[in-house]
Amino acid sequence: MSGDVVVLGAGMHPWGKWGRSFVEYGRAAAAAALADAGLDWRDVQSVVGADTVRGGYPGYVAGATFARALGWQGARVTSVYAACASGAQAISTARAQILAGLAEVVLVVGADAAPKGFFAPAGGDRPDDPDWLRFRVLGATNPAYFGLYARRRMALHGDTPEDFARVKVKNSAAGALNPYARYRTAVSAQEVAASPLVADPLRLLDICATSDGGAALVLAGADFARARGITDPVRIRAVSTVTPTYPRTLLDLPDIATDSAAGLLPEGARDSFRSSIARAAYEEAGIGPEDLSLAEVYDLSTALELQWYEDLGLCGPGEGAELVREGATALGGRIPVNTSGGLASFGEAVPAQAIAQVCELTWQLRGTAGDRQVAGARVGITANQGLFGHGSAVVAVR
C-alpha cells in the first residue's frame, strides 16, 4: 500500500480579528474544503480537529465540536493539541486512519479566535511548565524571544535589521495577492524601519500578529481518488512530527536554558531540532531540498524565517540573509518561501496555521494560486514548530 494520501479539498476562512467563535471559522473552512472536494458532509467518515485552548471546553474537543456544528452524522472524531504544531498532528492522525483502513475520507479542521496582543500562558501556577516559567521567572514574552533570536543571528552571521525588513517586504507583497490574508497591503523597507521598536532589533512589522481564522483539508486514500476519476492529485508524501534529541545545544521556545551536557553537539549528532524536523520529512518523502518548488515556513518573526532557510537546507548555515538579499525566496525567485504571505500577512491562528500551510501547497501544486503561482510547482514542504518539542513539517507532491 502506498504511504501517500490524497488532498481532495482545501478550504479556509479569511484571517482577521472578527470577534466571533472559532467554531464559525472552522465550519466555514470545512464547508469550503468539502465544496472544493466535490463531496457532501455525509461522505466524511472521520473528523480530526486541531484544538484551541482559548475556546473553552469546546476548544479542547475540537473534533466533536466541528462535527456537531456541521451536523451529527456518525463520523468518528479525534481531537489533538500540539500548540502551533496541532495542525500537522491532525494531518498525521488523519493520514494514519486512512492508511490503516479505518476511514476512506477524513476531514481535518483547525480554527482559533486569538486574544489581542502576544500569547500568554493559560492561568494558574504551573512550576513544571517551561512556558509558564519563562513569563514568571524571566518576563520573557514571545517578542522578547524573537528579539534574542534576531540578536543571535546578527552576532553569529552578520545579519542586519535591513535583512529582516527584506523578509517582511517579500511576504507582504505575496500576502497582498492572497484573499485569505489579514494584511493585504505591500509595505516598504522604510515602513518597516519606521514602525515602533518592540524587542530590539525587531520592530512591529517584523513580528507576526495574533489572529482569528480557520483552515480545513479533505484527505482520502488513493483508491478512493481513483474511483472518482482523479488521476493526478496533490498527495501528502510525508509528515514529520519528531521531537528533539538530547542534548539540546540551542535555546528554543519555551526553554530558558540548554541541556546540561550542552557545550558541543555530541559525536554523531547531525543537526538542531528544527533541522531534524525537516530531515525526517525529507527522508520519509525520499527527496531533498534540491527537489523543492516552494516552502511555507513559520515566520513568527522576520529573523526566524531566515533561520528556517538554513534549517530546511535551502542554503548553508549563516547564508539565509543572502538568499533574501538576492531575491531567491521571493515570488519568481529560485525557491519561493511563504508564497501565501506567511504569518507576516496572516498572523497566528494557532490550530489552523499548519493546515493553512498545506492549503497553500495544495493550491500551488494544482496551479490554481493565481497571481501567487509558482511556475511548474511539483514539490512543496511546510515547516512549523510547536512548544514543548513538537515538530511539524509536511511534504506535498504532484
pLDDT for res 2: 54
Range in 26-30, 84-88, 269-273 with the lowest mean pLDDT? 269-273
**What's the CA gap between 9 and 337, in Å, rounded?**
22
* 130-208+236-397: CATH superfamily: Thiolase/Chalcone synthase (3.40.47.10)
- Residue 328, pLDDT > 80, answer yes
Residue 288 has pLDDT above 50, yes or no: yes
| Closest C-alpha to 210, from 334, 52, 37 | 52
Q: Max CA-CA distance within the chain?
A: 58
Q: What is the pLDDT of residues 71-114, one digit of tens each?
A: 999 999 999 999 999 999 999 999 999 999 999 999 999 999 99
Domains 5-116+213-234 and 130-208+236-397 share a fold: yes
pLDDT tens-digit series, residues 176-189: 999 999 999 999 99
156-167 residue pLDDT tens: 999 999 999 999
pLDDT of residue 269: 55
Using one digit for the tens of pLDDT, what is the confidence trace for 360-388? 999 999 999 999 999 999 999 999 998 88
Picking from 152, 175, 157, the residue whose alpha carbon sits closest to that of residue 321 is: 157
**Tens digits of per-residue pLDDT, 43-56?**
999 999 999 998 89
The three three-digit cell numbers of residue 33, written as one number: 474544503
- Of 186, 191, 234, give the one whose Cα is nearest residue 377: 234
Percentage of the chain exceeding pLDDT 90: 81
Q: Using CB atoms within 10 A of its CB, is residue 259 exposed (0-12), middle (13-18) or buried (19+)?
A: exposed
Question: Residue 59 has what pLDDT?
Answer: 94
Beta bridge partners of 10: 217
Q: Report residue 270 as a C-alpha cell.
A: 547531525
Evaluate whether 348 touches 142 at the Cβ level (below 8 Å). no
Instruction: Identify which of 195, 170, 214, 194 has the alpha carbon closest to the alpha carbon of residue 345.
Output: 170
Residue 1's pLDDT is: 37
| 126 pLDDT tier (thresholds 50, 70, 90) | confident
Nearest residue to 30 (alpha-carbon basis) of 77, 97, 92, 99: 77
Is the pLDDT reported for residue 222 higher than 60? yes
Beta-ladder partners of 93: none
Domain range annotation of the chain: 5-116+213-234, 130-208+236-397
Q: Rounded CA gap, 288 and 278, in Å?
A: 9
Mean pLDDT lowest among 21-30, 86-95, 137-146? 137-146
> What was the pLDDT predicted at 250?
75
Please tell me the distance from the alpha carbon of residue 104 to that of residue 17, in angstroms, as a whole number. Answer: 35
Query: With left for phi above 0 and alpha for psi between -120 and 50, is residue 327 left, alpha or beta?
Result: left
Q: What's this model's pTM, rounded to 2 decimal places?
A: 0.95
Mean pLDDT of the chain: 93
> Yes or no: is domain 5-116+213-234 CATH 3.40.47.10?
yes
Q: Which residue has the higher pLDDT, 161 or 251?
A: 161
- Which residue reads 508564497 in cell numbers? 339
What is the model's pLDDT at position 266? 59
Are 347 and 181 a contacting pair, CB within 8 Å? Answer: no
Query: In the chain, which ranges are E strands?
Result: 5-16, 46-50, 76-80, 105-112, 197-199, 202-203, 212-220, 234-240, 294-297, 379-386, 390-397
